[in-house]
Copies of this chain bind each other. A is one copy, B any other.
Amino acid sequence: MVNYPHKIRPQIQKHTSQTKAVDFANRGMSFEKMINETNQYYLSRGLAVIHKKPTPIQIVRVDYPQRSRAKIVEAYFRQASTTDYSGVYQGHYIDFEAKETRQKHSMPMKNFHVHQIEHMEQVLAQKGICFVLLHFSSLKETYLLPASYLIAFFKIDQGGKSMPLTYIQEHGYLIAPAAFPSIPYLDIIKENLLGGKHDS
Protein backbone atom coordinates (compact mmCIF):
# COMPACT_ATOMS: atom_id res chain seq x y z
CA MET A 1 0.00 0.00 0.00
CA VAL A 2 1.18 3.48 -0.87
CA ASN A 3 0.56 6.22 1.69
CA TYR A 4 0.57 9.22 -0.59
CA PRO A 5 -2.87 8.93 -2.20
CA HIS A 6 -4.63 8.48 1.13
CA LYS A 7 -3.52 11.91 2.24
CA ILE A 8 -5.57 13.58 -0.46
CA ARG A 9 -8.47 11.12 -0.43
CA PRO A 10 -10.76 12.84 2.11
CA GLN A 11 -10.49 16.14 0.30
CA ILE A 12 -11.46 14.50 -2.99
CA GLN A 13 -14.46 12.80 -1.43
CA LYS A 14 -15.69 16.11 -0.08
CA HIS A 15 -15.57 17.72 -3.49
CA THR A 16 -17.25 14.77 -5.14
CA SER A 17 -20.29 15.08 -2.93
CA GLN A 18 -20.51 18.80 -3.61
CA THR A 19 -20.64 18.40 -7.35
CA LYS A 20 -23.22 15.72 -7.97
CA ALA A 21 -25.05 17.62 -10.69
CA VAL A 22 -23.88 16.91 -14.20
CA ASP A 23 -22.00 19.99 -15.23
CA PHE A 24 -20.43 19.46 -18.64
CA ALA A 25 -18.50 22.28 -20.18
CA ASN A 26 -19.58 23.92 -23.41
CA ARG A 27 -23.20 23.80 -24.42
CA GLY A 28 -24.00 20.73 -22.35
CA MET A 29 -21.98 18.47 -24.64
CA SER A 30 -20.31 15.45 -23.15
CA PHE A 31 -16.53 15.42 -23.25
CA GLU A 32 -16.58 12.51 -25.69
CA LYS A 33 -18.87 14.40 -28.00
CA MET A 34 -16.63 17.46 -27.83
CA ILE A 35 -13.63 15.33 -28.85
CA ASN A 36 -15.53 13.64 -31.66
CA GLU A 37 -16.67 17.02 -32.93
CA THR A 38 -13.10 18.29 -32.79
CA ASN A 39 -11.88 15.24 -34.73
CA GLN A 40 -14.61 15.82 -37.31
CA TYR A 41 -13.45 19.43 -37.62
CA TYR A 42 -9.85 18.33 -38.21
CA LEU A 43 -10.95 15.66 -40.69
CA SER A 44 -13.22 17.89 -42.73
CA ARG A 45 -10.48 20.52 -43.09
CA GLY A 46 -7.77 18.02 -43.95
CA LEU A 47 -5.78 18.87 -40.80
CA ALA A 48 -5.61 15.38 -39.27
CA VAL A 49 -7.31 11.98 -39.50
CA ILE A 50 -8.17 10.86 -35.99
CA HIS A 51 -10.99 8.49 -35.06
CA LYS A 52 -12.43 6.94 -31.94
CA LYS A 53 -12.07 3.18 -32.03
CA PRO A 54 -15.25 1.12 -31.75
CA THR A 55 -16.11 -0.21 -28.29
CA PRO A 56 -14.75 -3.74 -27.95
CA ILE A 57 -17.62 -6.23 -27.65
CA GLN A 58 -17.52 -9.96 -27.06
CA ILE A 59 -20.24 -11.46 -29.22
CA VAL A 60 -21.76 -14.68 -27.87
CA ARG A 61 -24.88 -15.28 -29.93
CA VAL A 62 -26.21 -13.93 -33.23
CA ASP A 63 -29.63 -14.58 -34.76
CA TYR A 64 -30.18 -14.47 -38.50
CA PRO A 65 -33.86 -13.63 -38.97
CA GLN A 66 -35.13 -14.31 -42.49
CA ARG A 67 -35.00 -11.30 -44.81
CA SER A 68 -33.41 -9.10 -42.19
CA ARG A 69 -29.89 -8.38 -41.10
CA ALA A 70 -28.00 -10.33 -38.48
CA LYS A 71 -29.10 -9.50 -34.94
CA ILE A 72 -26.73 -9.83 -32.00
CA VAL A 73 -28.79 -11.17 -29.08
CA GLU A 74 -26.08 -11.86 -26.51
CA ALA A 75 -22.88 -9.88 -26.14
CA TYR A 76 -20.78 -8.28 -23.42
CA PHE A 77 -18.55 -5.25 -23.08
CA ARG A 78 -14.85 -6.07 -23.00
CA GLN A 79 -12.16 -4.00 -21.35
CA ALA A 80 -10.23 -1.95 -23.90
CA SER A 81 -6.66 -3.16 -24.35
CA THR A 82 -5.53 -0.02 -26.13
CA THR A 83 -6.52 3.64 -26.03
CA ASP A 84 -9.73 5.09 -27.44
CA TYR A 85 -8.39 7.43 -30.10
CA SER A 86 -5.74 7.10 -32.79
CA GLY A 87 -4.83 8.53 -36.14
CA VAL A 88 -2.35 10.47 -38.21
CA TYR A 89 -1.11 14.05 -38.38
CA GLN A 90 1.43 14.80 -41.11
CA GLY A 91 2.74 11.24 -41.08
CA HIS A 92 3.00 11.14 -37.26
CA TYR A 93 1.12 8.49 -35.36
CA ILE A 94 -1.22 10.04 -32.77
CA ASP A 95 -2.67 8.01 -29.89
CA PHE A 96 -4.64 9.16 -26.88
CA GLU A 97 -7.13 8.35 -24.17
CA ALA A 98 -9.68 10.77 -22.73
CA LYS A 99 -11.02 10.93 -19.18
CA GLU A 100 -13.24 13.34 -17.36
CA THR A 101 -14.08 13.98 -13.74
CA ARG A 102 -16.30 16.28 -11.72
CA GLN A 103 -13.66 16.48 -9.01
CA LYS A 104 -11.81 19.76 -8.70
CA HIS A 105 -8.42 18.79 -7.35
CA SER A 106 -7.48 15.47 -8.91
CA MET A 107 -8.21 12.90 -11.63
CA PRO A 108 -9.16 9.42 -10.36
CA MET A 109 -6.72 6.83 -11.71
CA LYS A 110 -9.17 3.94 -11.47
CA ASN A 111 -10.30 4.40 -15.07
CA PHE A 112 -6.83 3.74 -16.47
CA HIS A 113 -6.23 0.03 -16.85
CA VAL A 114 -2.83 -1.59 -16.75
CA HIS A 115 -3.27 -2.78 -20.37
CA GLN A 116 -3.77 0.81 -21.49
CA ILE A 117 -0.66 1.94 -19.65
CA GLU A 118 1.32 -0.87 -21.29
CA HIS A 119 -0.05 0.13 -24.68
CA MET A 120 1.09 3.71 -24.11
CA GLU A 121 4.58 2.50 -23.23
CA GLN A 122 4.68 0.45 -26.43
CA VAL A 123 3.55 3.43 -28.51
CA LEU A 124 6.20 5.69 -26.98
CA ALA A 125 8.87 3.03 -27.64
CA GLN A 126 7.80 3.20 -31.32
CA LYS A 127 8.09 7.01 -31.26
CA GLY A 128 4.36 7.58 -31.50
CA ILE A 129 2.83 10.74 -30.07
CA CYS A 130 0.86 9.59 -27.06
CA PHE A 131 -1.03 11.50 -24.39
CA VAL A 132 -4.21 11.76 -22.35
CA LEU A 133 -6.87 14.45 -22.51
CA LEU A 134 -8.08 15.14 -18.97
CA HIS A 135 -11.29 17.09 -18.54
CA PHE A 136 -12.34 18.70 -15.24
CA SER A 137 -15.98 19.40 -15.90
CA SER A 138 -16.61 21.42 -12.72
CA LEU A 139 -13.64 23.66 -13.50
CA LYS A 140 -14.41 23.68 -17.23
CA GLU A 141 -10.71 22.96 -17.84
CA THR A 142 -9.11 20.42 -20.18
CA TYR A 143 -5.46 19.40 -20.05
CA LEU A 144 -3.22 17.47 -22.40
CA LEU A 145 -0.79 15.38 -20.37
CA PRO A 146 1.98 13.53 -22.27
CA ALA A 147 1.73 9.78 -21.70
CA SER A 148 5.21 9.63 -20.17
CA TYR A 149 3.95 11.58 -17.14
CA LEU A 150 0.84 9.43 -16.79
CA ILE A 151 3.00 6.29 -16.93
CA ALA A 152 5.44 7.69 -14.35
CA PHE A 153 2.58 8.57 -11.98
CA PHE A 154 0.90 5.19 -12.51
CA LYS A 155 4.10 3.41 -11.50
CA ILE A 156 4.40 5.38 -8.27
CA ASP A 157 0.69 5.27 -7.52
CA GLN A 158 0.29 1.48 -7.86
CA GLY A 159 -2.89 1.49 -5.84
CA GLY A 160 -4.60 3.52 -8.50
CA LYS A 161 -5.95 6.43 -6.49
CA SER A 162 -5.88 9.96 -7.89
CA MET A 163 -3.55 12.21 -9.84
CA PRO A 164 -3.45 15.72 -8.31
CA LEU A 165 -4.40 18.61 -10.57
CA THR A 166 -1.14 20.31 -9.54
CA TYR A 167 0.84 17.40 -11.06
CA ILE A 168 -1.18 17.72 -14.29
CA GLN A 169 -0.65 21.48 -14.36
CA GLU A 170 3.08 21.07 -13.79
CA HIS A 171 3.66 18.50 -16.56
CA GLY A 172 0.73 19.03 -18.92
CA TYR A 173 -0.76 21.75 -21.08
CA LEU A 174 -4.01 23.60 -20.52
CA ILE A 175 -6.02 23.53 -23.73
CA ALA A 176 -7.47 26.97 -24.16
CA PRO A 177 -11.25 26.62 -24.48
CA ALA A 178 -12.56 27.47 -27.93
CA ALA A 179 -15.89 27.51 -29.67
CA PHE A 180 -14.95 25.53 -32.74
CA PRO A 181 -13.31 23.10 -32.43
CA SER A 182 -14.10 22.86 -28.73
CA ILE A 183 -10.90 20.98 -27.75
CA PRO A 184 -8.12 22.21 -30.07
CA TYR A 185 -5.54 19.67 -28.90
CA LEU A 186 -3.76 19.65 -32.27
CA ASP A 187 -2.34 23.10 -31.45
CA ILE A 188 -0.62 21.63 -28.39
CA ILE A 189 0.80 18.76 -30.46
CA LYS A 190 2.18 21.12 -33.08
CA GLU A 191 3.73 23.48 -30.55
CA ASN A 192 5.04 21.06 -27.94
CA LEU A 193 5.08 17.39 -28.96
CA LEU A 194 6.81 17.36 -32.34
CA GLY A 195 10.34 17.82 -31.03
CA GLY A 196 13.33 15.70 -32.01
CA LYS A 197 12.44 12.99 -29.52
CA HIS A 198 9.41 12.05 -31.62
CA ASP A 199 11.15 12.02 -35.01
CA SER A 200 13.34 9.18 -36.11
Please give the residue numbers on chain A whose beta carbons come within 8 Å of chain B beta carbons, in ascending order: 43, 46, 48-49, 51, 53-57, 59, 69-77, 81-82, 86-95, 119, 122-123, 125-128, 198-200
Chain B, residue nearest A122 (CB): B49
Contact B57 A72 (CB under 8 A): yes
Contacting A93 at CB < 8 Å: which of B43, B46, B57, B88?
A: B88
- Could you say which residues of chain B place their CB within 8 Å of the CB of A72? 57, 72, 74-77
Q: How many copies does the complex hold?
A: 2
Contact A76 B82 (CB under 8 A): no
Contacting A54 at CB < 8 Å: which of B56, B90, B126, B128?
A: B56
User: Contacts A72-B76, A72-B77, A75-B57 hold; do A49 and B128 have CB atoms under 8 A apart?
Assistant: yes
- Could you say which residues of chain B place their CB within 8 Å of the CB of A198? 91
- Could you say which residues of chain B place their CB within 8 Å of the CB of A127? 88, 90-91
